[in-house]
Amino acid sequence: MRILIIEDEALVALSHAMVAMEAGHVVTGTAWNTFTALNAVNYQKPDIALVDMRLSDGLSGNKIALTLYRDYGIKPVIVTANVNQVDPDVFKFSLSILPKPIGSSALHLALDAASDLLNAQSH
């Protein structure tokens, strides 16, 4: 599965990338705000995106998640310390909502579940 990581904290993004790669996924890149996220999705064609709610340009995670889903058909996995700030519409189509801080085993399980869901939907 191809994963775009949308996270403005470099160490957190690196940690997520390491877990994803250890689980056998391909990390297409990282983004830290709305502009870099939407630019990256156009060029990198991820299957899913790990999306934080609060990024370097503010509380933009909801907008990014909605755009990814509505314009590109990409379902996000929300990984945020601000679960209460997730838009109700984003809850409806997200593959999962994970509260920060998240351990590597929990993220690994969430990515495996997302991969299984995407594979089931494509068959």
Tell me the residue range of the domain where 41 lies. Answer: 2-122
**What pTM did the predictor assign?**
0.95
CATH code: domain of residue 57:
3.40.50.2300
Per-residue model confidence as pLDDT tens digits over 19-49: 999 999 999 999 999 999 999 999 999 999 9
The total of structural domains in the chain comes to 1
What string of DSSP letters covers the chain? -EEEEE-S-HHHHHHHHHHHHHTT-EEEEEE-SHHHHHHHHHHH--SEEEE-SSBTTBS-HHHHHHHHHHHH-PEEEEEES-GGGS-HHHHHH-SEEEESS--HHHHHHHHHHHHHHHHHHH-
Per-residue model confidence as pLDDT tens digits over 50-95: 999 999 999 999 999 999 999 999 999 999 998 999 999 999 999 9
What was the pLDDT predicted at 82? 86
